[in-house]
Structure 1
Amino acid sequence: MIFNMRNMFNALVLLLVIPLSVSGQPPAQTVPDFEFFRFDKRPFTTMDLPKSKMLFFLFFDSDCDHCQHAIKSIGEQYQSFKKASIFLISMDGLDKMDHFMNTYGSKLKREKNVTVLQDKLQQFIAKFKPVRYPSMFLYSSEKKLIDYEDNPESVFRLVNAINKNVK
């Protein structure tokens, strides 16, 4: 009985410690290898990223108020964001993602440099290491992190970083 209680205690400690260590990790400093999926279910991998533009990744949840605010703000400042390739990624189902984009991201949905992707393999959190929703990552064309932001009120910082790093 003591052996089982000790195992249960150790398991409980691990369950409490592991999430804390993951949330304390810095965001990915370079774009990691990944496989997400387009709306037509075709895979989209790191190899599909453009080579000559900054890369902007926004990780969102369709029910997140802050995500809704962030996507609207980016749409309103699209002229600055169009200097980068934009990837909007969610683990939600395609119907929820489509509703989210129609409701909050309508200014971005049809833009050539915007790609909406589903993370159905649930890789984004483990590989990019976001802290919370929304998580916004700006990478150089060399795939090095320029800026990370998870506060939708600070989208202006990303606009400044894009303008500063345009080649």
Structure 2
Amino acid sequence: MKSLYLFLLFIGITFSACSQDGPANKNIPPYKILTTDSTYVTPANLKKNVPVMLIYFAPDCPHCQHLTEQLTKHIKEFGNTQIVMITFFDPKTQFRAITKFVKDYGLKKYPNITVGTEGRVNIVVQRFYQVVTTPYEAVYDKSHQLVKVFPKIPEVEDLVKAIKK
């Protein structure tokens, strides 16, 4: 009986630790990312009164690549939404992968998309959302308060609906 209790306790802890339900804090995390232009960007760079979508991704992730293709195909539906794509790739050894990703998907032509890395050391965003898999999306309203998180791969239509809330 005692071993059953310990097993159930272990299962409960494991599932709660791996949860991607979203953060308790509903504000945008205090990220600092290095962009492909070699500049640092923080939430202070975000425009006021404009919705924000944060996407935690990996340039070599097929699901992230597919999501990026869909975003660019439907970019007009996001209006003036600021899209911040953040990766954990090491800026010293993997920066080429990030710049290649930006080039391959033509992201520089979209002024509302910012792509950068928080690196492998600080991982503030990864910890904030407790990201386990990529892509991970968080949608914020124009007051920069959390509307919805998407811990699994969403349909673009679902992201658009969340932005318009």
TM over 0.5: yes
Aligned equivalents of 1:86 and 1:94: distance in 2? 20
Q: Specify every segment of 5 or more residues in structure 2 that has no aligned partner in the other structure, as ranges.
A: 1-10
User: By how many angstroms is 1:18 displaced?
Assistant: 8.1
Q: Would you say how many aligned residue pairs link Structure 1 and Structure 2?
A: 147
Give the RMSD, CA atoms, in angstroms.
2.3
Aligned equivalents of 1:52 and 1:154: distance in 2? 25
Q: Specify every segment of 5 or more residues in structure 1 that has no aligned partner in the other structure, as ranges.
A: 1-15
Q: Determine which structure has more spread, i.e. the larger CA radius of gyration.
A: 1
1:114 aligns with 2:109: no
Residue of structure 1 equivalent to 2:68:
71
Residue-by-residue CA offset, 1:97-136 (whole Å, 9 max, x unaligned): 1112222x22x33211111111113222112333420011
1:91 aligns with 2:92: no
Residue of structure 1 equivalent to 2:142:
141
1:54 aligns with 2:51: yes
Contact 1:31 1:128 in 2 (8 A): no
User: By how many angstroms is 1:95 displaced?
Assistant: 0.7
Aligned equivalents of 2:152 and 2:108: distance in 1? 22
Contact 2:56 2:85 in 1 (8 A): yes
AA in 1 matched with 2:84: F
Contact 1:101 1:109 in 2 (8 A): yes
AA in 1 matched with 2:142: S
Contact 2:21 2:149 in 1 (8 A): no
Judged with a 3 Å threshold, the aligned counterparts in structure 2 of structure 1 residues 153 and 43 are, in CA distance, closer, same or farther, namely closer
User: By how many angstroms is 1:69 displaced?
Assistant: 0.6
Residue-by-residue CA offset, 1:24-53 (whole Å, 9 max, x unaligned): 253133212221122233221122221110
Aligned equivalents of 1:19 and 1:72: distance in 2? 34
Aligned equivalents of 2:20 and 2:137: distance in 1? 15
Aligned equivalents of 1:89 and 1:134: distance in 2? 10
Aligned equivalents of 2:31 and 2:84: distance in 1? 13
Contact 2:88 2:118 in 1 (8 A): yes
Contact 2:20 2:151 in 1 (8 A): no
Residue 22 of structure 2, aligned match among 1, 19, 27:
27
When the two structures are superposed, what TM-score results if normalisation uses the length of structure 1? 0.77
Judged with a 3 Å threshold, the aligned counterparts in structure 2 of structure 1 residues 161 and 39 are, in CA distance, closer, same or farther, namely same
Structure 2 counterpart SS, 1:88? strand
When the two structures are superposed, what TM-score results if normalisation uses the length of structure 2? 0.77
